[in-house]
């Protein structure tokens, strides 16, 4: 390895410590062990293609692209890496598996596991693992085991006796096929997709099941590749530029929806508002679990879909299909808000002959969430190994997501002072 100039080493060290101070101030770094790891590992050494300032910015660093330009490997944003490593609770001597490689995060894990620990980082892309191997060796972390494999089929020979103490997943995953590889009492942290919504979730394995006990973190990672890749199950409504996706659940017919989308919708106002900078991801997760026929609606930017006003701009809209009708959640700006960033009211648009009924159904669930769950503790996620693949005609179970390997349930705590602890809507 070529020794960098002393000024570059000094600049990198200063930027690294500035980043750590920012992460501490923003409460992403909360323990001395994670702080020490971030102060020690030279992030820029794993991102030689970018400037020092870019390497130590609190942002992702793309490292590999597909032929169509999509990012297929990256160094995650430091704030998210810190949050996930805090959630993983890695201790000296732990056996740790990282799924989705790159090198830098594996080096952080190696610092946490210490000289008596064992770290394995795995990726399906040989170009990614070659890069990780090279940079880990150059930075003195050549004790990390780098494996090229499909994580969907984890080799038994990689799993230590009793299982890994922690598994950290750094790619978007639709399922959690690694429960059997985790030790009882071990931690699994993964960005899990539930109907296309992405949440980094910290789990503990208790009696063979994964139980969440950390706040859910809205996030985004590069997509899982190989046999574990997720499918959006996207369907196009003919002649409208509208697309509906059933990433969880059974896709419904969409051809009959074209006439509904040619007519002005019924609009139901909810009188429930949200600030311009206030997240409402928990509402959409709630709707995804409670409403049968839930899907997400996207619009071609150049399509002829004038009745979708306003069209979903940044994220696909929460939607339900009812025969030849559908309803979707939207919001309208009603004021500038106290902070000048806007105040918005949730509204529901219904399309088709029965669109008003579908819209009313969605609006009632928005109101239920407002009364019972908004402001309550974070929902609790449980993942259990599936007994078998759910059939396509399985009746809808509220807040249950049937995956290939697991059955995910979401428990919604009630706002303090109200009776009950679980809601089915």
Kindly report the number of other CB atoms within 10 A of residue 382's CB atom: 17
Task: Give pLDDT tens digits for 109-146.
Answer: 999 999 999 999 999 999 999 999 999 999 999 999 99
Q: Is residue 389 part of a domain?
A: no
With respect to residue 256, please indicate whether it lies within any of the assigned structural domains: yes
189 & 257 share domain: no
Last residue within a domain, chosen from 228, 246, 281: 228
Q: Is residue 297 part of a domain?
A: yes
Q: Does residue 166 sit in the same domain as residue 270?
A: no
d(CA 342, CA 45) in angstroms, rounded, equals: 42
Q: What is the pTM of this model?
A: 0.91
In this prediction, residue 8 carries a pLDDT of 56
Domain range enclosing 241: 234-372
Write down the pLDDT at residue 305.
66
Domain identity same for 246 and 332: yes
Cis check for the bond before 310: say yes or no (omega within 30 of 0).
Answer: yes
Q: Are residues 343 and 272 in the same domain?
A: yes
Q: How large is the average pLDDT for residues 164-173?
A: 96
As a whole-number percent, the residues of the chain with pLDDT over 90 amount to 74
Query: Based on the domain organization, do 51 and 196 belong to the same domain?
Result: yes
> Within 10 A of 92 (CB to CB), how many other CB atoms are there?
12
Which residue's entry shows tokens 């959690």?
176
Checking if the pLDDT of 421 tops 80, the result is no
76 belongs to the catalytic site: yes
* Owner of token pair 């690694």: 178
Place of tokens 């004021």: 335
Give strand ranges (E) for 170-233.
182-194, 197-206, 209-212, 217-218
The pLDDT, as a whole number, for residue 204 is 98
Claim to verify: residue 264 and residue 215 sit in the same structural domain: no
Tell me the average pLDDT across 68-84: 86
Q: How many domains does the chain have?
A: 2
Lowest mean pLDDT among 61-70, 157-166, 354-363: 61-70
Q: Is the pLDDT of residue 422 over 50?
A: no
Q: What is the mean pLDDT of the chain?
A: 90
The 10s digit of each residue's pLDDT in 362-410 is: 999 999 999 999 988 899 999 999 986 544 445 689 999 999 999 999 9
Asked whether residue 385 is domain-assigned, the answer is no
Q: What is the pLDDT of residues 81-93, one digit of tens each?
A: 999 999 999 999 9
Tokens for 389, please give them: 């693949």
Answer yes or no: are the C-beta atoms of 27 and 217 closer than 8 Å.
no
17 and 93 assigned to the same domain: yes
The candidate with the shortest Cα–Cα distance to 223, out of 74, 396, 122, is: 74
CA 31 vs CA 15, 83, 115, 351: distances in Å:
20, 11, 19, 51
| Together in a domain, 209 and 245 | no
Q: What is the pLDDT of residue 270?
A: 97
The residue from 76, 101, 325, 423 that is catalytic is 76
Residue 330: CA atoms inside 13 Å, Cβ hemisphere, count? 24
The enclosing domain of 197 has a CATH number of: 3.40.50.150
- Band (pLDDT 50/70/90 cuts) for residue 67 is confident
Residues 251 and 221 in one domain: no
Contact 408, 400 (CB under 8 A): yes
Distance between CA atoms of 5 and 24, rounded to whole angstroms?
29
On the question of pLDDT at 420 being above 50, the answer is no
Tens of pLDDT, residues 277-297: 888 899 999 999 999 999 999
Q: Within a domain: residue 383? A: no
- Whether residues 242 and 185 share a domain: the answer is no
Assigned domain for 381 exists: no
Statement: residue 154 has pLDDT above 50: yes
Alpha helix (H) ranges present in 322-407? 355-372
Is the confidence at residue 18, as pLDDT, over 90? Answer: yes
Q: Kindly state whether residues 216 and 245 are assigned to the same domain.
A: no
Q: How confident is the model over 28-43, as pLDDT tens digits?
A: 999 999 999 999 999 9
pLDDT digits (tens, 9 = 90+) for 309-360: 767 766 799 999 999 999 999 999 999 888 878 899 999 999 999 999 999 9
Strands 294-299 and 266-275, by their bridges, are: unpaired
Confidence of residue 12 (pLDDT cuts 50, 70, 90): very high
Distance CA(107)–CA(8), nearest Å, equals 21
pLDDT value, residue 317: 93
């Amino acid at each position: 390895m070529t020794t960098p100039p002393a000024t570059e080493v000094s600049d990198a060290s200063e930027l690294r410590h500035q980043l750590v101070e920012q992460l501490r101030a923003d409460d992403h770094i909360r323990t001395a062990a994670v702080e020490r790891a971030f102060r020690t590992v030279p992030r820029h050494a794993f991102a030689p293609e970018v400037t020092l300032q870019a390497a130590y910015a609190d942002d992702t660093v793309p490292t590999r692209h597909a032929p169509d330009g999509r990012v297929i490997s990256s160094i995650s944003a430091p704030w998210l890496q810190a949050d996930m490593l805090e959630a993983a609770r890695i201790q000296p001597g732990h056996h740790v598996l990282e799924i989705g490689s790159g090198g830098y995060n594996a080096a952080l894990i190696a610092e946490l596991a210490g000289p008596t620990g064992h770290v394995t980082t795995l990726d399906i892309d040989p170009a990614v693992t070659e890069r990780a191997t090279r940079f880990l060796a150059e930075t003195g972390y050549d004790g990390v085991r780098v494996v090229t494999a499909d994580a969907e089929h984890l080799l038994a020979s990689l799993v230590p006796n009793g299982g890994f103490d922690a598994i950290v997943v750094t790619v978007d995953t639709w399922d959690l096929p690694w429960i059997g590889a985790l030790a009882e009492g071990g931690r699994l942290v993964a960005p899990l997709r539930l109907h296309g919504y992405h949440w980094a979730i910290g789990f503990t394995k208790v009696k063979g099941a994964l139980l969440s006990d950390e706040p859910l973190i809205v996030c985004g990672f590069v997509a899982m590749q190989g046999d574990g890749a997720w499918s959006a199950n996207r369907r196009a409504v003919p002649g409208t530029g509208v697309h509906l996706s059933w990433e969880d659940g059974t896709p419904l017919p969409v051809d009959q929806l074209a006439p509904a989308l040619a007519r002005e919708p019924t609009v139901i106002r909810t009188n429930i508002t949200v600030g311009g900078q206030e997240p409402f991801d928990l509402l959409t997760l709630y709707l995804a679990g409670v409403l049968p026929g839930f899907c997400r609606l996207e619009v071609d930017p150049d399509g002829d879909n004038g009745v979708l006003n306003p069209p979903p701009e940044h994220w696909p809209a929460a939607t339900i299909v009812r025969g030849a009708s559908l309803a979707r959640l939207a919001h309208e700006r009603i004021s500038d808000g106290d902070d000048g960033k806007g105040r918005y009211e949730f509204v529901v648009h219904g399309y088709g002959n029965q669109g008003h009924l579908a819209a009313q159904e969605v609006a009632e669930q928005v109101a239920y969430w407002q009364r019972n769950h908004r402001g309550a503790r974070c929902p609790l996620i449980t993942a259990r190994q599936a007994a078998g693949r759910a059939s396509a005609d399985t009746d809808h179970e509220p807040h249950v997501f049937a995956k290939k390997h697991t059955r995910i349930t979401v428990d919604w705590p009630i706002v303090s002072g109200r009776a009950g602890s679980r809601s089915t809507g």
